Structure 1
Amino acid sequence: MKMEKVDIEKQSPKKASRAPQSFEEAALDFENSKIIGLKLSRKIAWAVAAAALLISLLCVLALLVALFNHTDPQPVVYEKDSKTGSIIQMKTLKDTPLKSDEVTDKYWIATYIRHREGYDWHTVGTESEIVKLMSASDVGSEYMRTIQADTAPLNMLKDKGKIVVKIASITFVGEIAQVRFTKQRVNTSGENLDGSPEQSFIATLSYRFDNGAMTDQQRLSNPLGFKTMTYRVVDEVIK
């Protein structure tokens, strides 16, 4: 038996060899690599710039927060009492611990005292209606008897003068309010030309806020329904 000789070299696959690049191809590869590198550099630069911008914004935000939260120390203000000569420290709401509605209560108490104890010929009718609106029935009736007395300003001063009320202080003893105030007679121009002395008084009153039925006009004068339930006033003895 005759064996055929196999040409191994012909049957074995030859490894493909890369053809050498031409000058143009090499130049094109070089340009492509430069473009890729440039794009990568730009991406890195943009990333660095974005990070720097973010840090700057955070710094600005932190500075703004610090500025808004910063509070300068409040100056201490003093006032001299023209009557006694004593020095009184002026206080803000932050300086004085207050109950939830104390500021509102003091406002309406002071308003009631001014309406009740003051006097102006031209507004006495309106003032009396407001006082009755802000008083319990028996307190309002007692007030009407007081202003109609022979010695009341309505009959003594008439249209020749006014009574000016100044609130000195309002304090609370339990559910009772104590109000220190002064009254002074002035002429129709508000001047004390005859040397009328300033008189000091202490009013003691109990009160509540009654959300009862009122007309729109009454609600404009007394929106929260302030009511004085008891009222007493005495001269303040200054030693």
Structure 2
Amino acid sequence: MQIEAGNGVDQPLVNESYFHDGARWERDIYRRLEISRNVWRVVAVAALICLAIGLLTLLSLVPLKSTEVVTLLVDKATGFVEVAKPLEEGGPISQREAVTQANIVRYIRARETYDPPALRDNFELASLLSAGQASKDLQEAFSPNNLHNPVKLYGINGRIRVIVHSVNFLSQGWMENPKSPATAAVRFTSVRTSDRERMEEHWAANVRFRYTAEPMKNEWRWDNPLGFQVIEYRKDQETVAPIVGAAPVEAPTVAPPTGAPAP
């Protein structure tokens, strides 16, 4: 719409800048609404993602609430409770732990068993697996000058059978570094029999051990491939059973084997 000015020139009734300002204002309002809508969309998507992650985490924790069945072994004489663990790859008992338990049991059986026909074999095996103070104590125990030499005490008719009940490691650092010394607590029973008596004794032993990489003869390596060594050995009696009297029988002593590894 135009009006005629006094000079005869037609002028618009409304300034054109008014329409430009209105169009700019409309675009600004629309842009703000669009930005706000996009922001809320991003917030909503982020919330959904967080919710999905939370649900997945909750579902992953569900198996942790499952019931695990374990087997407990109770010793009738001492009341000691032991958990029977399965041997699994990466499971409750590692292969290194199982092998070390077997070495400790083999050592105690060789050292504590008394069987005259197998006496030399057991002594040589115990000597091979001993080092340091444990080796010295073993040599003294079977010394001909020792009045408590098992051969002098039990003679040719006596027998001692060893039953190992449990082996528990008191530290776990040796699992990462086998060369570092570690200690295991062992509970076992010795069953002594002769012509006139039978007695059971229950023992708790502390076995300090290590693995060594020192060179050795093939003959020794075949019996001890990993270089297992017991450096300290101590046992304490848990329960004492009455002894039915039997006089000790004299018998020839067993001399230390030749060629045993030096402690």
Structure 1 residue 233 displacement after superposition:
1.1
Aligned CA-pair RMSD: 3.0
Aligned to 1:112: 107
Greater CA drift, 159-168 or 144-153? 144-153
Aligned to 1:4: none
Aligned to 1:180: 187
| Mapped contact 2:161–2:192 kept (Cα < 8 A) | yes
Alignment of 1:46-61 (within 5 A): none
The code of the aligned residue for 1:176 comes to T
1:13-50 CA-to-partner distances (Å, cap 9, x unmatched) read: xxxxxxxxxxxxxxxxxxxxxxxxxxxxxxxxxxxxxx
Q: 2-side partners of 1:108 and 1:160: how far apart?
A: 29
Does residue 93 (structure 1) correspond to residue 87 (structure 2)? The answer is yes
Say which of 157, 163, 175 aligns to 2:154: 157
Aligned to 2:205: 203
Q: 2-side partners of 1:209 and 1:146: how far apart?
A: 24
Task: Determine helix, strand or coil for the equivalent of 1:114.
Answer: helix
In the alignment, structure 1 segments of 5+ residues that lack a partner are 1-74, 188-192
Sequence identity of aligned pairs in percent?
Answer: 28
Aligned to 2:232: 230
- Using the size of structure 2 for normalisation, the TM-score is 0.53
1:137-171 CA-to-partner distances (Å, cap 9, x unmatched) read: 43212111113322232112121121100101111
Alignment of 1:21-170 (within 5 A): 81=75, 83=77, 90-94=84-88, 97-99=92-94, 101-148=96-143, 149-170=146-167
- Using the size of structure 1 for normalisation, the TM-score is 0.58
The code of the aligned residue for 1:156 comes to L
Higher RCO, Cα 8 Å, sep 6+: 2
The code of the aligned residue for 1:178 comes to A
| Mapped contact 2:135–2:231 kept (Cα < 8 A) | no
Quickly say closer, same or farther: Cα 1:183–1:122, change in 2 above 3 A.
same
Structure 1 residue 177 displacement after superposition:
0.4
Q: 2-side partners of 1:87 and 1:173: how far apart?
A: 17
Q: 1-side partners of 2:84 and 2:224: how far apart?
A: 29
The code of the aligned residue for 2:166 comes to S
Structure 1 residue 235 displacement after superposition:
1.0
Quickly say closer, same or farther: Cα 1:217–1:166, change in 2 above 3 A.
same
Quickly say closer, same or farther: Cα 1:213–1:77, change in 2 above 3 A.
same
Greater CA radius of gyration, 1 or 2? 1
Structure 1 residue 91 displacement after superposition:
4.4
Structure 1 residue 102 displacement after superposition:
0.9
1:41-73 CA-to-partner distances (Å, cap 9, x unmatched) read: xxxxxxxxxxxxxxxxxxxxxxxxxxxxxxxxx
Q: 2-side partners of 1:123 and 1:199: how far apart?
A: 21
Task: Determine helix, strand or coil for the equivalent of 1:220.
Answer: helix
Q: 2-side partners of 1:88 and 1:117: how far apart?
A: 22
Q: 1-side partners of 2:141 and 2:82: how far apart?
A: 34
In the TM superposition, structure 1's runs of 4+ consecutive aligned residues that sit over 4 Å from their partners are 75-82, 84-91
In the alignment, structure 2 segments of 5+ residues that lack a partner are 1-68, 172-181, 241-263
Task: Determine helix, strand or coil for the equivalent of 2:106.
Answer: helix
Aligned residues: 160
The code of the aligned residue for 2:192 comes to R
Task: Determine helix, strand or coil for the equivalent of 2:198.
Answer: coil
Structure 1 residue 232 displacement after superposition:
1.2
